[in-house]
Amino acid sequence: MASASLALGLFSVILIATGFSVITGSLGLILALLSRGAGPLSQKAKTGLFTSLVGILGGIVITGMALFAIFSGDWRETLNRLETLYETYITTGTLDPSDVDRVLNDDSSLEIQSDKTALRISFFTEEETDA
């Protein structure tokens, strides 16, 4: 049980960013405590206990931060700006640095100008297309 606790504790640390670390860390914590029996904890069980706790706490912190970021509302504004940038590229076929600056700085007073010099996004350079 101590070895399983150690393995689950390590998996919980590895899976911190996924949210599954709370599940694997909890299982590792339970196995570490059950491996004790009537005597003291072995070194593997102590390490499993520690890594499981780190995984559980890390998973809770990361999940809390993700939920805060989702429900704070700032992400909606960012998605709207990225959508505006995408619409600029679709309508004009090009992206100019001023378009990017306008969208990132949320300067909605500027209109999209389709006749300005812009950088074409292409897989080929002009020399390759002329040949």
Q: Which of 67, 35, 6 is nearest to 14 (CA)?
A: 6
What is the number of helices (H) and of strands (E) in the chain? 6, 0
pLDDT tens profile 97-117? 776 676 666 544 444 444 343
Q: pLDDT tens-digit profile of 64-76?
A: 988 887 777 667 7
pTM of this prediction?
0.57
Q: How many CB atoms lie within 10 A of CB 112?
A: 13
pLDDT at site 26? 93
- Residue 85: which of 77, 95, 75 has the closest Cα? 95
Mean pLDDT over residues 27-32, rounded? 93
- Which two structure tokens, joined as six digits, stand for 34? 């059950």
